[in-house]
Amino acid sequence: LNTDALADALALSQHHDAVSGTERQHVAADYAKRISIGYAEAEGLVASALASLVNQRLSSNVINPVKGFQQCPLLNISYCPPSEATLANGKSVVIVVYNPLAWKREEVIRIPVSTGEVFVQDSAGKEIESQLLPLSNITFSIRKKYAKAYIGTAPSGEPKYWLAFPVSVPPIGFSTYMVSRPKQRGRISTMSKEFRSDGST
Amino acid sequence: NNSIEVGQGNLKLLYSADEGKLTQYVNSRNLVAASVEQSYSFYSGYVGDGKDTQASGAYIFRPNGSFPIKSDHQVSFTVLRGPILDEVHQQLNPWVSQILRIYKAKEHAEVEFTIGPIPVDDGIGKEVITQFSTTMKTNKTFYTDSNGRDFIKRIRDFRSDWDLEVNQPIAGNYYPVNLGIYLQDSTMELSVLVDRSVGGSSLVDGQVELMLHRRLLHDDARGVGEVLNETVCIADKCEGLTIQGKLYLRVDHKGEGAKWRRTVGQELYSPLLLAFTEQDGDNWL
């Protein structure tokens, strides 16, 4: 595992001034493909590194070490199979949040989920306040159109909500969060309240 | 008072209830209050004719008129509120919409715009912009980053090292924006950071303008040899691209915006990475 393809793709794009619009479309498509290949290769490397770090932290207490990490490059159009399908299958989603900067960060992350009945815990098992936001029609339509264009098939299933929750990540380090479906009702994410304007009302 | 207040932390934005337009930016922590409006419009691309053959294209920006993008009817306006963030969803027309987010723990607004496919069946190429307008008296001056590094002072219709003859009053004042753009007057600063490289300017005092998307129908004959009219095709049906990006808006007292621009700018450049895996049952360890 390495990042050679990504290095080559970036070097080529930068050297040839690959600014959108100022090259022929088939050339832009070639740059995009090379960067995509590089991204996929780097994703594998990062997944392996994160699994190694997480398993080191878990040490010998764990029977089944963490293996396959996946990323969601199409998260911006709400396409994220690991978060959607895992919850739908009744399992919990483990999210490792990595901070590449040398200062502590407090941010809110958002992932698409297929159910409104979820709750979030940090790595100590402490429950984290979270919020559900319905996906907009625009997001749905882009997801449908572009996921099909980029992955070749229409995405199976539809997420219903964005799940938003605050994360705190140490400098050049990572934090772990878990999203689960509750066994009993009571401790679930807060649904957003929706207000629509109607004329001046 | 016929206005809608959005945001549950220090930052609040006020919208007029009847038009759904942003009107006020208020930070209750540092007591910043400013009148801020936002609008969308497009420039039509210059076609090039017998007298003046240079058309708008990938390299050449020659706007041929500005047209506001307004909804034919009441702007669809939806507010979502919750413990972490508030969202304002607005659909201006079938190909321009945005979601504005205010996180409870942050003191800036995040504007996620979705634009496209830009219609060109009227035979007109379009370059879509958004503008943030304030009452700040900025005296022709604004600041843009230099490829993510220092912000450099720009003065409308002026260059410090040669006598500028302005032939294109809009394009001649456009600058590359890779990190952000800001304005300041004697009391306040308005900063806008971007998540991608765009063009931007301040063509009117107190106003910031950013070009977000474009689709043109003529080659500018400067070397590309192709029209800037990319499409995406699904099942043999092709349409113009739809793009989605984010802007980050903040108002500060004069001199207090630099720290935010540098730190948040770095965070946009190096976002948190998310990696997912699954686990059975309640074994959170």
B224-263 confidence digits (pLDDT tens): 889 999 998 877 889 999 999 999 999 999 999 999 999 9
What pLDDT sits at residue A84? 83
Q: Average pLDDT, stretch A2-31?
A: 85
Residue A201 has pLDDT above 70, yes or no: no
Q: Average pLDDT, stretch A148-169?
A: 84
DSSP B173: G
Q: Which of B2, B99, B105 faces A106 most closely, judged by CB atoms?
A: B105
Question: Is the pLDDT higher at B278 or at B74?
Answer: B278
Q: Which of B92, B91, B100 is nearest to B11 (CA)?
A: B100
Residues 6+ apart with CB under 8 A from B209: B129, B130, B131, B200, B201, B202, B203
Residue A182 has pLDDT above 90, yes or no: no
The string of DSSP codes covering chain A is ---HHHHHHHHHHHHTT--TTSS-HHHHHHHHHHHHHHHHHHHHHHHHHHHHHHHHHHGGG-SS-----B--TTGGGT--HHHHHHHHTTPEEEEEEEE-SSS-EEEEEEEEES-S--EEEETTS-EE--EEEEPPHHHHHHHHHHHHHHHSSPPSS---EEEEEEEEE-TTEEEEEEEE--SSTT--PEEPEEEE--TT-
What pLDDT sits at residue B75? 61
Q: Average pLDDT, stretch B192-204?
A: 97
What pLDDT sits at residue A198? 66
Average pLDDT, chain B: 93
Residues 6+ apart with CB under 8 A from A143: A77, A78, A79, A135, A155
pLDDT per position as a tens digit, B60-113: 999 999 999 986 555 678 999 999 999 999 999 999 999 999 999 999 999 999
Q: Which of B96, B253, B235, B89 is nearest to B182 (CA)?
A: B253
What pLDDT sits at residue B283? 61
Confidence of residue A185 (pLDDT cuts 50, 70, 90): low
Q: Among A58-62, B147-151, B202-206, B272-276, which stretch is predicted with the lowest mean pLDDT?
A: A58-62
User: Degrees (nearest 5) of the Cα angle B141, B264, A35?
Assistant: 105
Q: Which of B82, B114, B270 faces A100 most closely, judged by CB atoms?
A: B270
Residue A200 has pLDDT above 60, yes or no: no
State whether B233 and A149 contact (CB < 8 Å): yes
Contacts of A67 in chain B (CB under 8 A): 277
Chain A interface test: which of B18, B84, B236 (most A C-beta within 10 Å):
B84
Instruction: Return the number of other C-beta atoms located less than 10 Å from residue A72's C-beta.
Output: 19
Contacts of B225 in chain A (CB under 8 A): 24
Measure in Å the smallest separation between the Cα of B181 and chain A Cα atoms: 20
Find the closest chain A residue to B265 by CA distance.
A101
pLDDT per position as a tens digit, A32-64: 899 999 999 999 999 999 888 888 877 656 566
State whether A94 and B233 contact (CB < 8 Å): no
Contacts of B219 in chain A (CB under 8 A): none
Our CA dihedral for A190, B83, B114, B175, rounded to 10 degrees, sits at -160
What pLDDT sits at residue A87? 81
Question: Is the pLDDT higher at A91 or at B202?
Answer: B202
- Interface check for A50 against chain B (CB to CB < 8 A): the answer is yes
State whether A96 and B267 contact (CB < 8 Å): no
State whether B84 and A106 contact (CB < 8 Å): no
Question: Is the pLDDT higher at A129 or at B235?
Answer: A129
Confidence of residue B216 (pLDDT cuts 50, 70, 90): very high
Confidence of residue B125 (pLDDT cuts 50, 70, 90): very high
Contacts of B234 in chain A (CB under 8 A): 145, 148-149
- Interface check for A53 against chain B (CB to CB < 8 A): the answer is no
Measure in Å the smallest separation between the Cα of B280 and chain A Cα atoms: 5
Q: Omega into B117 within 30° of 0, i.e. cis?
A: yes
State whether A132 and B82 contact (CB < 8 Å): yes
State whether B226 and A125 contact (CB < 8 Å): no
Q: Which of B82, B275, B285 faces A62 most closely, judged by CB atoms?
A: B285
State whether A22 and B74 contact (CB < 8 Å): no
What pLDDT sits at residue B284? 57
pLDDT per position as a tens digit, B132-153: 999 999 999 999 999 999 999 9
Under 8 Å CB pairs connecting chains A and B tally to 181
